[in-house]
Amino acid sequence: SVLAGNGYDVQLWTRSAEHAEQMNRARTNEKYLPGVALPSSLHATTDMQEALRGAGLALFVAPSSAMRAVAKQAAPYLEDGTLVVHATKGFEAETLKRMTTVLSEELNRSAESIVVLSGPSHAEEVIRKQPTTVVVASADLQAAEQAQDAFMSTYFRVYTNPDVVGVEVAGAIKNIIALGAGLSDGLGFGDNAKAALLTRGLAEISRLGTAMGANPLTFAGLAGVGDLVVTCTSQHSRNWRAGSMLADGTPLEEVLERMGMVVEGVRTTRAANELAKQYDVQMPITAELYSVLFANNSPKDAVLNLMGRLKTHEIEQLG
Ligand SMILES: NC(=O)C1=CN([C@@H]2O[C@H](COP(=O)(O)OP(=O)(O)OC[C@H]3O[C@@H](n4cnc5c(N)ncnc54)[C@H](O)[C@@H]3O)[C@@H](O)[C@H]2O)C=CC1
Ligand SMILES: O=C(CO)COP(=O)(O)O
């Protein structure tokens, strides 16, 4: 909708013929964003070749679990001059790879040329043209600026950042913290607990991100603090909602079924738990979430474990 509003002809690819037909007929997306009119220059299709023919820009936004499969389907039709952007928040579960790596491998182009778009941007608000700010990151500044120009509008402000690793890690890990914030609210804890989760969650994001090569300043930006705040506090957040349902003892499978939309934080918790080992960094909130999601630990015990950790410094001591 943002791109269509900026005057581009947009082809929205979906695997579901029924969904494409519904959107083209009713000019709304009843399944995911009901009741809001879609721009007239947006056309839904299930034909990947049609979607990519002559495209100036291709935005990949499948769930992380489907990114490789979707990129595989796109690869034969993607033209050399098409700018590749993605807005997916997660890692590939089996390989722990970031999304730019997965796209680079499947699309047979350098990871440096790919752009990631991230930041606090719930679709429910963007489609209603509510003021939103995001960041586009790429090792190639020209590519980032091309994406910035394409998406920038009166209600959608876009910043560039060269730190792809930082932006991708922040976007993925904040979903774990949002699950925790939902759990905390669901357990009836207050604002102090949520502020603690956000702040110590940011410490976890920064620790893993910098170990993976990110610029620590990225985590103070839109992809870091910005997205953490929105996902931990917004009524729209799928991860927050899933966390709050888990708090009352609803089994994970049932929570995911009831959500009916991707809850990236669940798979990301597994991936981040592995990455923490690989990079030898402490991620206590992630570890407790892992134990709740995958080892039947109770949310209350997870809180007790976090509060009962050995005393430590807030930041590393100098000298
Ligand atoms: N919803 C939001 O406000 C935002 C979402 N994101 C990110 O965008 C990504 C997608 O999230 P949502 O659109 O919210 O999820 P969603 O669950 O609402 O929609 C996912 C779409 O992907 C399709 N899909 C799933 N598996 C597929 C496959 N194997 N092949 C083809 N299509 C497949 C589904 O049919 C559905 O149309 C996630 O990584 C999320 O973190 C990022 C910013 C904001
Ligand atoms: O990343 C998002 C907003 O920026 C969406 O988060 P949820 O998946 O928790 O809704």
161-192 confidence digits (pLDDT tens) = 999 999 999 999 999 999 999 999 999 999 99
Cα 175 to averaged position of ligand 2 atoms, centre (Å): 7
47-51, 138-142, 217-221, 314-318 — which is least confidently predicted? 314-318
Confidence bin at 154 (pLDDT 50/70/90): very high
Residue 86's beta-bridge partner residues? 60, 116
CATH 1.10.1040.10 in the chain: give the residue spans: 166-307
Q: What is the DSSP letter of 235?
A: T
d(Cα 231, Cα 242) in Å, to the nearest integer? 12
Confidence bin at 289 (pLDDT 50/70/90): very high
Tokens representing 260 are: 């009916």
User: What are the helix (H) ranges across the chain?
Assistant: 2-5, 17-26, 48-52, 67-74, 99-107, 123-126, 141-151, 164-186, 191-211, 227-233, 238-247, 252-259, 264-279, 284-294, 299-307
Contact 205, 170 (CB under 8 A): yes
Superfamily classification of domain 2-162: NAD(P)-binding Rossmann-like Domain (3.40.50.720)
d(Cα 117, Cα 40) in Å, to the nearest integer? 24
Nearest-ligand number for the alpha carbon of 20: 1
For residue 319, pLDDT beyond 60: no
For the Cβ of 122 lying below 6 angstroms from any atom of ligand 1, the answer is yes
Q: What rounded mean pLDDT belongs to the chain?
A: 97
Catalytic residue status for 31: no
Q: What is the pTM assigned to this prediction? A: 0.97
Nearest-ligand number for the alpha carbon of 261: 1
Confidence bin at 316 (pLDDT 50/70/90): confident
pLDDT above 90: percentage of residues in the chain: 97
What is the reported pLDDT for 317?
Answer: 62
CATH 3.40.50.720 in the chain: give the residue spans: 2-162
Q: Tell me which residue has its CA closest to atom 2 in ligand 2.
A: 122
Q: From the annotation, which residues make up the binding site for NADPH?
A: 15, 32, 89, 123, 238, 262, 264
Q: Are strands 83-86 and 57-60 parallel, antiparallel or unpaired?
A: parallel
Q: Are strands 83-86 and 115-118 parallel, antiparallel or unpaired?
A: parallel
Q: What does the pLDDT average to over 31-40?
A: 96
Identity at 70, one-letter amino acid code: V
Backbone dihedral angles phi then psi of residue 110, each to the nearest 5 degrees:
-70, 140
d(Cα 208, Cα 282) in Å, to the nearest integer? 8
For residue 87, pLDDT beyond 80: yes
pLDDT digits (tens, 9 = 90+) for 195-209: 999 999 999 999 999
d(Cα 60, Cα 88) in Å, to the nearest integer? 7
What is the reported pLDDT for 235?
Answer: 86
Q: What does the pLDDT average to over 32-40?
A: 96
Contact 230, 122 (CB under 8 A): yes
CATH architecture, domain defined by 166-307: Orthogonal Bundle (1.10)
Nearest atom in ligand 1 to 16's CA: 35
d(Cα 136, Cα 159) in Å, to the nearest integer? 6
